[in-house]
Amino acid sequence: MNIVVGSTGLIGQAVVKVLAQEKLPFLALSRAKSWTNKAALNLHDRSTWGILPPGRGVVLVAGPSFSLRDCMTRPKETRAIQVQAVVEFSIFAAQRGLFPILLSSSFVYDGSRPDFGSQDLSHPACEYGRQKAEMEAGVLEAVPESAVVRLTKVFGDFHPLVSSWWGKICSGRIIEAASDARLSPLGSQWVAETLVSLMKHPCNGIWHLSASDDISWFELAMKLADVSPAQAGRVSIRSLRQIDPSVEFVPLHGTLKPSWPRALSIPPSSLAIENLIHNITKSISDPDQNRLKLKS
């Protein structure tokens, strides 16, 4: 059995889709009931964990989803779920005969150089990264037969910030984008296919998934502006702290050194960006009025 916890999130949904396409047996769980699951599982509520079936299999914990700001402003609350609950749930899953796979982040490093490897010691520069590093250590110590997958930035078909940029650009306004903060975006489809590969052939340890290069938010914004109408707005170059003085962390590099148990091609960041821009620019257009609107 392949079990996905957090099946309604960006990565969880994509993994469930791939499992279904490959006709693999799976159980999709989330905090709320949906068409993919018959009951809810809340990581913060141990009384709901009994839905986890015992027996041989893999459980991918694709949640919870907290932002960097969530962790910075509500560290006690986010740590209780993102660290303590995830570690305890992993132990519970292992006791039921399941192999836990946990999702982590490139933010366990400070982004001071590219291509940190899975053997490099973590040294986070923000609360989000500290919590992820603490979760990793807790799970791997308590459940040696488990895997941690560190991801760089993952894009689906939409992204709220980039969608808002498109709406502003097409209405002739100026947007601000950071030239000093870099990311190494991956497409959710590719990430899901890779995770399913690991679920089919579970291998303990720490694994890195990353695009082969990185890009600044300013460069991404310029790519978006390049496909906008002739009278579109402009992109203004800024530092991240000029845009948001309260930001806790400015990643100067976004890549990790990829590593996983099965050989897969390493995608360039352009693949995820091109897919994102294509979906945003096509899906929020209004051909009747020849205007572009932000999708609600």
At 11-41, the pLDDT tens digits run: 999 999 999 999 999 999 988 765 555 568 9
Residue 201 φ/ψ, nearest 5 degrees: -135, 70
Residues 6 or more apart whose Cβ sits within 8 Å of residue 177: 165, 216, 217, 218, 220, 221, 222, 235, 236, 237, 238, 243
What pLDDT, on the 0 to 100 scale, is given for residue 229? 81
Which residues face 180 on adjacent strands?
none
The per-residue pLDDT for range 111-124, each reduced to its tens digit, is 999 999 999 999 99
**pTM for the full model?**
0.91
| Span 90-118, pLDDT tens digits | 999 999 999 999 999 999 999 999 999 99
> Rounded to an integer, what distance in angstroms lies between the CA atom of residue 240 and that of residue 47?
42
Taking only the tens place, the pLDDT of each residue in 47-81 is 999 999 998 899 999 988 899 999 999 999 999 99
pLDDT for 214-251, tens place per residue?
999 999 999 999 998 876 778 999 999 999 999 999 99
DSSP 8: T
Q: Tell me, what's the pLDDT at 195?
A: 96
Rounded Cα–Cα distance for residues 107 and 127 (Å): 9
DSSP H helices in 2-105: 10-21, 68-73, 75-79, 86-95
CA dihedral (172, 178, 182, 184) in degrees, to 10, reads: -20
The residue length of the chain stands at 296
Domains of the chain: 2-156+184-209 (3.40.50.720), 160-180+214-252+268-292 (3.90.25.10)
